[in-house]
Each structure stands twice: as structure tokens, then as C-alpha cells.
Structure 1
């Protein structure tokens, strides 16, 4: 198992440190990384990196490497135990870095919510990373740590109690407050552009099992949809109102299913997983839930159709723009994951954090994921390496670090 590599210059390199989330992640590491952690800032502009370093008040080394410069990325990967990258859209800028890390035996963590990128990374990098011991861990932010680690914690609680396997499992975003950045919108544009005109790619992305190792080996648990509305009482008797669709379900659910498959379907061969958002307990919650679903569908359609995208692009945030400091500070989210086990027992896990979900909280999640990969080798899940998930690549080591960072992660009978 690869742990901290003292024959390398750094423990963690933050790639994309001059970007919005990159600087937030570097700031979290500056404030919370253990003393003696060897950290560097990387990106394509030495001048901008120096400005970030000055704002953070650190003396970390700077590494200049453009996302298109494969020799520079290879040197970057070979210099460190872990690369934490915030440079997206990953489908546009991320493939070369992931390949370089897999080849160099360097652990890697990113923030992608792009199904196509992760699928291609699996196809390109999984076997190489297994041969070198690299843990290539995608989706280490709000996509998809609360989902993947939340189910991981739920599974651990059920297993410890001998309560059987997980069956019908539903994530509910109980509360959430935050902003949106231009980088997120730009990633969505790139994903939609990739899918336009490519029927096979659309079919792959639409499959609930698009990230699992082998669709043929997956147990048949029936249809699993991304955008669902469901009565709360169907999920748990104490839940009121109607649950609406969660916009990030299309990526998160596939990461969670990959975790189950990589673990040999340890969660259960009848494990079904979906994601929703609470719309309240009022008599109007059903209308709100259906309206939410219609709004999500309409937004994606609008971003696909050129005339409406032109209009939306004039009002949506531009790349490099994001929520202000007050919004980031006042943001929060609570995610509850409910399951019924094979013995009929009901369990719930909770993942709760302060800070804007996609930015302040995401910086904590990515920063702690990188530290766990760099410093906690003995606590990482057994693995030969490969393209993994937060649960299968970092697991309890990430749970412990996030709890120490103030994130609430709990699980037990519900």
C-alpha cells in the first residue's frame, strides 16, 4: 500500500490553486494541515500562484504546469504523493493529469461531477493505477462525498449490528443553502456539448450503471431513475410531504453504485439507491416537488438548445465567478440517508456540514481527502489501487478526518 512517499518532494500538490475552489482548498490546508506536511501550489501562471501564496501567508513551493503540457504534468505527478486538482471541466482539462498520476503511482483526488470523464478515466487508468498502486479518486467534493461516505457510514452501522444487507436506500437533502459559480455552469456546458450528437455516449451516460466495472455482473434490481418524486412516508414513516429530485443525483448515484460493485456488492445484491430533496411538509409539497422536476428538466433543455443557452449565458455566472465570502460562510447542508435492511430494520446516516456546499464545504472535503491519501496510508481501505471512489479509496480515514474538521457523520437505527 502506498503511503507517504519521503523520496518525493511533496506530500500534496494543489493543482489549480489560482482558481476559485483551488484557492479555498489551499486555504483550508494552510489552516489545518498537520505541521510538517509538505505542500505545493500548482497551476499555469507563476505570477498568479505567487499572488495566492502571498494571500495565504505561506512559503510553499510553486509548480508551473499547463493542463495541456503532458511532460510538465508527468514531472508534477512524480514529485508528490498526492495531487488534488480543481481544474475543470475535467473532461476538457483533466485527462492528462489523471493519466500522469496513474503512471507515476501518485494518488489523485478531484471534484468532478462528470460521468463521461469518470467513465473514460476508468477505461484509461484503472489497470495502470492497479499496477502502480495509485488511488485515482474522483468526486471528492459535494459531488459525491456526502452521498458515498454517507452510504459507507450507513453500511458500517448496519454491518456492525448484524442487521442484514441494505435494500431500498434513499438520500434526502434535508436542508441546504449556498451559491453557484461560473465554473459549475461551464462544466455543465461541456458535458452537454459532449453528449450532443453522440447517441452511444448519451446512452452510456444515462445508464444507472455507467461507472460500474461490469454491467453484466450487476444484480437485477429493476429500474433506477435519477429524477424522482416520492412520498416521504415511503422512505421513512416519519417523513412528511413529497420528496423532489436532487439535481446532482445523475452523478452521485453512479459513484455509490460503483462503490458497491468494487466491494463485491457488500452493501447488498438487492441494494437500490436514489437521491431526493425535501420540499417541506405542507399540502403543497407535492406541487413543489413536481415543479422542481419540471424546472430541472427545463433548465437542462434550455442549456442544450442554442437560442435559450445564449439567453441563459447572459445571466448565469461566468467562469471564475462564484459566491461571495458571506454566502460561503453562511452556507450549510444536511443530508440524511435512509435504508431498510434485509431483516426489515430501518437505519439512517447523517452528513452535515457548515459552509457553502459547493465551495467552502467542498474545499474541506477535498483538502481532507488529499491529507488522508498522503498521510494515512495504514488507515486507508485495502486496495491494490485503481480508479476508486471516496468510500473505496479513502473510506474510514476520510470519515475520521472530516469529523475532526467539524463535519457531522453519524449512523444508526432510525
Structure 2
């Protein structure tokens, strides 16, 4: 149900960016009739040109001029809407003022961050304010990290409904994926590599429980307390139905922190022995898979190392996509992903969840997940848990979001394996 105390249900901030435009297009095509949506960004002329490119449903959407470097414009913007959906990143550079403004105004907030230090900043600086004002601050509502977070949530709901105990060691395996990294993701990687030189920032980045606490109280957890973010393991050790080798998934070091925060916010509902990791399937031949896994591990390390040093960074900057850039519509339509999360419960049962969608994970599929997250917060408020502060997709929206995503064509299911 729309909240008539605000002028808008959703404002898309950063609408003229690549993913911002995809999100606006998605909402124009899929938002229920009567949903009050506005487009926001720094340039009114660019917003006007964008609106002309969108489907007819958007032709009367209002345009709002706001700048990440102008706190007063952000304050004015968030006061007008129930939900602010921002694609303006890297969030460590451009997001601090906006998340603070949303929390202060009692405005629900979603973003596409994959930056652990930014979420840690939000927890420490705005969580308490948001709890008082009744704001849901929900980072990571795209491919970072909805498939991971909602996949484990779906496992938990199925296991609970079956009375099969609690989750124990749980691994989300990327079984299929086709798509490219966005320019915004690469820009976030640049920021993270710069931060990694700072000892205090490194403590946050390397802590597997960096987000599993309240304000000012980051747990002191060693990396060995949770599965490795760079695994090279036999697939059968995760579940006997799997074959071959599992290797590193480049988003694991972020997604795992979000899933662990969900468990923290749900008061440990996943289980006292819950441990969570992510990996990527690399074929059924163990030897070939191990070679491939070692190559992936080396490539990820080389990329971060290259971004950390000026000479190699200059070379990579010429090759890697820049913010605002992205693949063609044809390429976006050819993308897809599938994640399968496996666990064994405390009663000995084996369970699996599947989250899958068509469309490039970082672009088309992300626009769908991001758009449906905004609509869930804006229109499904009666179905949401009364939980406020810095949340996660699962803890903020849970079943309501899963229902919307299924209706939008995303596969989300769980079953017992044995």
C-alpha cells in the first residue's frame, strides 16, 4: 500500500547512470499503476533526456536535481519519498551523506554497494538514528547480495517449515553465470584497494564477521572462524550430489558478510553452528577444476594488486569498464546466473536452495532485483517485519521480497536432498 504522507513512493537517484537508467526502465515497465516515482540526479537536462527514452509510463515522472556533494539537496530529496533507491557509487565516496539523510528523515533506503567498509560505516553512524526514525537502510539489493541472502533465507524457511532443525555448514555455489563486471563495480574495487593500505581498514576487510554486530561493536573474529573466501575444494565435501572442484567466487568476500549479518539481525535463527561460505563450480573433472581454480585465484589477486599500484592501474583503467559504461542490450539479454546453496541440518537432513534468473547479473538482473526491492519497501509495508536500522535484504523484506522476485520471473526454491 502506498504511503500518502510522502509525495513519492520511490525516487531513483543516479537515474542517468547506466544501471540507474536500467532501473528506471524496469520500474516504468513493471511498477503497478499509480506508483509515484521520480527521477533524480545532478543534471536536469540529462534527466529530461533520459525520461524521453523511457517507456510511456514514465513521461510524467517528476525530475529532481540533487547532488551527492550537496547535503541540503539530499535532505530535501529524501524528505519527499518513502524509498530512495541510489545507484550513485562508489558509496564510500558518494554515499555517506545520503544514507545519513535517509536515516534522519525516516526514509527507507536501498543501494547496490559491494563495499564492506561502507556498510560498516552505516552501522556505526546511522543505525541507531534509523531505528528511532523507523527507516529501513538496506544495502546490497542487486546481484550483490540478493541471490546469496535470499537463497539462504529460503533454505532457512524451508527447513523451519519442515521441522528439520537448524542450518550448520552452508555453502552457496555459483553453478551457472554469464555476464560482465559493471563500471561501478570496478570503481568500487579501486576504492577498496586504496583502503586496503590502511591497517584499520584492513581489519574490517579481513574480518569475516565485520558486519555481524551493532554500532561501535565490531566482533574480533579470525578469518579461520568461517570458510575461506578463496576456496579450492573438492565439490563432494559440500554435498555428495556435486562433482569436481569448487574455486573462488570473486564476490564471496562481500556476500558472506551480508548473509552473516542477516543471521545476526535474526538473532541467530539460522543456527548456533551456522557457518557460511561461497564458491564457484569449475567443471566435473577434478584435475582440470583445480587448475582452473588456481587460475581464478591468481587472476583475482592480480587484479586487486594491479589496481593498488599506479603504473598498472593506469593500464587497467584503459581496459576495464568505467562508471556509467555497460554492455549492449543484446549482451545483457544473453546473461544469466544460478546459485545453489547446500546445507546439512542438525537433524542430519541435506537441503538445497536455488536462486536463478535470466539477464546479465550485474545489469539486467540487478535492475530487476533493485526495482522489486524498492517496490517491496514502498508498497508492501504491511507485509514487512517491524525491523529498522541498517538491515539486509533478507532481514528487511524476507518473504515479501521473495514473493515479488518470483512473480518477476526469478527462480527461488528449496528442497530436501536426503
User: In structure 2, the residue corresponding to 1:284 is in which secondary structure?
Assistant: helix
Shift of 1:193: 1.5
Candidates 257, 271, 276, aligned match of 1:254: 257
Shift of 1:223: 4.1
Partner of 2:206: 206
Shift of 1:226: 1.1
User: In structure 2, the residue corresponding to 1:185 is in which secondary structure?
Assistant: helix
TM-score of the pair, normalised by structure 2: 0.96
1:265 aligns with 2:268: yes
The 1:268–1:175 alpha-carbon spacing in structure 2 relative to 1, beyond 3 Å, is same
Partner of 2:4: 6
Shift of 1:215: 5.0
TM-score of the pair, normalised by structure 1: 0.96
Partner of 1:284: 288
1:42-53 to structure 2, matched below 5 A, reads 42-53=40-51
Q: Distance in 2 between matches of 1:182 and 1:255?
A: 22
Shift of 1:29: 0.3
1:356 aligns with 2:360: yes
Partner of 1:388: 391
Q: Distance in 1 between matches of 2:381 and 2:273?
A: 32
Q: Distance in 1 between matches of 2:253 and 2:222?
A: 20
1:13-32 to structure 2, matched below 5 A, reads 13-32=11-30
1:321-336 to structure 2, matched below 5 A, reads 321-336=325-340
1:84-141 Cα offsets, whole Å, 9 max, x none, are 1100001000111111110000000000000011100111110000000000000000
The 1:117–1:161 alpha-carbon spacing in structure 2 relative to 1, beyond 3 Å, is same
Alignment gaps of 5+ in structure 2: none
Q: Distance in 2 between matches of 1:6 and 1:26?
A: 21
Shift of 1:321: 1.3
Partner of 2:369: 365
Shift of 1:8: 1.1
Q: Distance in 2 between matches of 1:288 and 1:220?
A: 24
Q: Distance in 2 between matches of 1:144 and 1:103?
A: 25
Q: Distance in 2 between matches of 1:263 and 1:220?
A: 22
Moved more, 198-207 or 125-134: 198-207
Residue pair 2:140, 2:146 contacting (<8 A) in 1 also:
yes
Aligned positions, number: 410
Q: Distance in 2 between matches of 1:314 and 1:17?
A: 25
Partner of 2:246: 243
Partner of 2:70: 69
Q: Distance in 2 between matches of 1:217 and 1:193?
A: 23
Residue pair 1:221, 1:272 contacting (<8 A) in 2 also:
no
Q: Distance in 2 between matches of 1:51 and 1:102?
A: 31
Shift of 1:319: 2.1
Q: Distance in 2 between matches of 1:111 and 1:328?
A: 18
The 1:220–1:308 alpha-carbon spacing in structure 2 relative to 1, beyond 3 Å, is closer
- After superposition, the CA RMSD in angstroms is 1.5
Residue pair 1:5, 1:80 contacting (<8 A) in 2 also:
no
Q: Distance in 2 between matches of 1:324 and 1:47?
A: 24
Q: Distance in 1 between matches of 2:221 and 2:395?
A: 18
